[in-house]
Amino acid sequence: MKKENQSNGLIWAVVFAIGAIMLIWSMSTSRTGQVWVTPVEHAFTETGVDEDGNAQWASIDAADATVGDIEWTTYSVVPDSQLTPELMESGTVSLSWSRTIGLWLAAIFTLFILSFLVGDNPAYKFAEAMVVGTSAGYVMVIGLWDVFVPNLLGKLMPGLVQSFALPGIEGSHQEFWWLYFIPAILIVMLLFQLMPSGGWISRWPIAFFIGITAGYRMIGYVEADLVAQIKAGIEPLVAFNGDGGFALWPTVNAFLLTIATLAAMVYFFFSIEHKGLVGKTARVGIWFLMITFGASFGYTVMGRIALLAARLEFLFGKWLHFIPSHIDFSFAAHLDWIILLQLM
Amino acid sequence: MYQFLKNLDRRWIFLSMLLAVAIPILMRIAFPEVVSKQAKMVFDAVESIPDGSNVLLSFDFDPASEGELLPMAQAFTRHCSAKGHKQYYMALWPLGSPMVDKSLDTIRAEYPDLEYGIDYMKFDYKAGGEAVIRMITTDLRGMFPLDSRGVSLDDIPMTKNIKNIQDMDLIINVSAGDPGTKQWVQFASTPFGITTVSGCTGVQAPQMYPYIPKQLAGVLGAIKAAAEYEAAIDEVYPEIAANPKAQEAKRRMGPQLVAHSLMVGLIIIGNCIYYVGRKRGDV
C-alpha cells in the first residue's frame, strides 16, 4: 500500500509539473485561454404588411437604424491566429470574460475527468457530479419546453399557450383534442410514485408504456431484422456480371455469407449435442463470431481514441494555443514543432 | 524483464497511450485517405439525388460522442449545402439539439446564401425515440407542430407542402446508440422504403453492415469512414477541399495510426507474457 501511494505521488507530481510547464510556457508566448470577440450589429426595419396582415421586415445597415427598428448585437470569436496587436489596439475586438471563463471551466473539467486514469480522486468525483447534474437539468428544461408545453398543454389549452409561450401554434382546439386528457391523466398517475402510499397507481402508466414500447419494438424487429434479413440472406450462390460473365468475388462473398450464417446459427442450436458434424459446424460458427467480436473491438478502440484526440485537440488548440484551430496538412510548414519535440 | 512487464503499473500504459495520441496531434501528422466502397456508397447516395432534393438529417448523438461523430455530421452538412439540398434537421436525443446547432452555425458561416426556412430548418427534440419516427412517417405535424423557432410549419416555405417524411428523398442519420440507426431502419427505411444512410459510432458499425444495401444505402463506421467521406467530397468539391475546417476527420487519423500501432504492440506483448507465464507455471 505504501509503495502504491509513493507511486501515486510520483505520477501526480510528474503530471502536474508537465502541465504547469506547458501552461506557463503557453501563457508567456500567446494569449492562452483567452477568447476575443468582435461585435456584429444586426438591424431590421418594417417594410409593410403582407396579404395576411403580417408585418414584413427587411435587413438594413445598423448605422441607419431609427426608432421602431429592431436592433441587436451578436459576437463572433476571433481566432488567435488573426488576433494581431494592431487589431487589439484598434478597439474592434474585445476580451470576452464570459467565454474565457467558460473555456477555462471546460479545460479544467476535462483534466478533472482525465485524472481518473491516475486514480480515483475528489476532482474527478466533482466533475462527474457536475456532468450528471447539468445534463439532468438540461434534459428537464428541454423536455418541458419542447415536448410538454407544445405537445400536451398546447393541445389542451391552445389559446393560453399561444398567448404566453408559443405564438406560432394554432389558437383553437383541434379535432378530438380531448383525447390528450389521457396522457395528462397518465402523467398524474405516474407522479404517485413519489407518494408514501398509493405507489401502486403509478404501475398502470408504467405498464402502459412498457406495453406500447414492447409492441412497437416487436413490429420493428420482426419486419426489419427477421423477415428483411432472411430475405437479404437468400442470395444466389453464383454471381454474374452485367454482361453475363462469372463474377468471382461476389460469388465468394455469397458463399461466405451462407456458410457464416448457417454455422453461427448451428452454434446457437442447443437442442442437439455439439458432436460430429454439428460440433464441427458449430466450431466454424464460433470462429465467425470471434471475427465479428474482433471487428467490434477494433471499432471500439478507434471510437475511444477519436474521443481522446478530440479532447486533446481542444486542450492543445483552443485552450493552450499550441496548435491553430484550423490546421493545414503541409507537414513541412510545421517543422518548428518537430524541431521543438526533438529538442525536448 | 518478464517480472517487470508482468507487474507493470497499468497507468504507464495510459501514459503511453496519451503520448501516442498527443504527439501526432502536436506534430500534425496526417495521411492521405483512400475512399473505400462503403464511404463511396454514402457519398453517391447524397450526390446522386437531384440538386434541391429534400434531405432529413437526424443527429442522434450527444457531446459524449461528439469527437467521433461531429466530423461526419459536419461533412454531411457541407455536402448537402454544396449540392443545394433542402435540409431538415432533427434530433432524437435531448442533447442532440446542440449538435444540430453546430451544423446550422456551419451553414451560416460557410454558405451565407442559404436561407433558414427556404434551404434549411430545424425541428426541436421530441421524446419517444421510435414512436417519434413511427409518427412522422405518416403525420409530421402531429409530432412537430412548430419548428425550433416556434414558427408553424405552414408558415415555413420548405415545410409548407411536407406531410410526412415519406416526402423526403433521403434520410441521413448520425447515430451513437438507441434511438438511432436501428430505429430508423426498423420504422422508416424498411417499412416505407425511404432511402437511408447512416454514420455511426465504431461500437455500432458491425451491427449496421448487415442492413447494406437493401435497408441502408450505406454506412460510415466511425472516424475512419468519416475521413474517407471527407476525401470523397474533396475530390468533387475543391472549395470544400480548400477549407481546413472541413478536414477534421482526416486530421484525427494521424493519432489513430500511432495509437492503433501501440495497441497492437501491447496485445502482442500481453500474449507473450501470458505464454511465458504459462510455460513457467505462473498462470
Which DSSP helix (H) or strand (E) runs through B59?
strand B54-60
> Residue A285: pLDDT band by 50, 70, 90 thresholds?
very high
* A307: containing domain: 235-319
Give the span between the Cα atoms of A168 and B257, in whole angstroms.
51
Q: Is the residue at A262 inside a domain? A: yes
Q: Is the residue at A124 inside a domain? A: yes
Instruction: Verify that B147 and B263 share a domain, yes or no.
Output: no
Instruction: Verify that A126 and A69 share a domain, yes or no.
Output: no
Instruction: Verify that B160 and B140 share a domain, yes or no.
Output: yes
Give the span between the Cα atoms of B59 and B91, in whole angstroms.
5
**Are the Cβ atoms of B260 and A301 closer than 8 angstroms?**
yes
Q: Which residues in chain B are closer than 8 Å to A326, comparing Cβ atoms? A: 244-245
From chain A residues 269-308, the ones with a CB under 8 A of any chain B CB are 292, 295-296, 298-303, 305-308
Instruction: Verify that B18 and B48 share a domain, yes or no.
Output: no
Domain end marker among A174, A196, A216: A174
Query: Given its phi and psi angles, is residue A68 left (phi above 0), alpha (psi -120 to 50 degrees) or beta?
Result: left
Domain count, chain B: 2
Q: Tell whether the model's pLDDT for residue A153 goes beyond 90.
A: yes
Hey, how many other C-beta atoms are within 10 angstroms of the C-beta on A33?
17
Instruction: Verify that A253 and A311 share a domain, yes or no.
Output: yes
Q: What percent of chain A has pLDDT over 90?
A: 34
Q: Which residues in chain B are closer than 8 Å to A117, comparing Cβ atoms? A: 11, 14
> Are A334 and B28 spatial neighbours (Cβ–Cβ below 8 Å)?
yes
Q: Tell whether the model's pLDDT for residue A144 goes beyond 50.
A: yes
Domain count, chain A: 3
Instruction: Verify that A91 and A101 share a domain, yes or no.
Output: no
- For the stretch B186-218, what's the b/e string if a residue is b when 16 or more beta carbons lie within 10 angstroms of its beta carbon? bbbbbbeebbbbbbbbbbbbbebebbbeebbbb
Q: Could you tell me the three cell numbers for A79?
A: 481566432
Domain end marker among A95, A110, A132: A95
Residues 6+ apart with CB under 8 A from B146: A150, A166, A168, A169, B124, B152, B153
Instruction: Verify that A112 and A78 share a domain, yes or no.
Output: no
> Are B173 and B185 spatial neighbours (Cβ–Cβ below 8 Å)?
no
Percent helix, strand, coil in chain A, to 5, is 70, 10, 25
**Are the Cβ atoms of B215 and A313 closer than 8 angstroms?**
no
Instruction: Verify that A104 and A78 share a domain, yes or no.
Output: no
Instruction: Compute the nearest-CA separation of B111 from chain A (Å).
Output: 16
> Are B30 and A329 spatial neighbours (Cβ–Cβ below 8 Å)?
yes
Q: Given A139, A292, A309, which is nearest B67 (Cβ)?
A: A309
Instruction: Verify that B148 and B14 share a domain, yes or no.
Output: no
Q: Is the residue at A74 inside a domain? A: yes
> Which pLDDT score is estimated for A105?
92
In order of A28, A38, B97, the CA distances from A75 in angstroms are: 27, 5, 21
pLDDT: which is higher, B139 or A64: B139
Instruction: Verify that A106 and A142 share a domain, yes or no.
Output: yes
**pLDDT one-digit tens code per residue, B233-256:** 999 999 999 998 899 899 889 899
> Which pLDDT score is estimated for A333?
36
Instruction: Verify that B239 and B157 share a domain, yes or no.
Output: yes
Domain end marker among A174, A202, A220: A174
**pLDDT one-digit tens code per residue, B130-171:** 889 999 999 999 889 889 988 889 889 999 999 999 999 999
Instruction: Compute the nearest-CA separation of A61 from chain B (Å).
Output: 17
Which amino acid, one-letter code, is at B26?
L
* B229: containing domain: 37-251
CATH number at residue B220: 3.40.50
Which DSSP helix (H) or strand (E) runs through A215?
helix A203-220
Give ipTM to 2 decimals. Answer: 0.88
Instruction: Verify that B181 and B262 share a domain, yes or no.
Output: no
